[in-house]
Amino acid sequence: MRGYGKIVRKILDENGCYFVRRGKGDHDIWHSPISNKKISVDTKILSRRWANEVLKQAGIKEKV
């Protein structure tokens, strides 16, 4: 597996989160209606731990 970026974005999308804009570097800004927060999502998430942290910030209980 080359990383968790696609998986995380798919889970975010399935849970009603949406892309807001490109951020600095290789990050995207997403909005989560669950946590009502904007989340910075790296396009190249290489660790499962960080992938799960992004989901946690979004208020999603699902794990990768």
Alpha helices in the chain (DSSP H): 5-14, 48-57
Q: Top-level CATH class of 5-57? A: alpha beta
pLDDT (tens place) for every residue of the chain, 64 residues total? 579 999 999 999 999 999 999 998 889 999 999 999 999 999 899 999 999 999 999 999 999 9
CB-CB contact of 35 with 58 (8 Å): yes
DSSP 8-class letter at 40: E
Alpha carbons 5 and 47: distance in angstroms, whole number: 10
Alpha carbons 62 and 23: distance in angstroms, whole number: 25
CB-CB contact of 55 with 8 (8 Å): yes
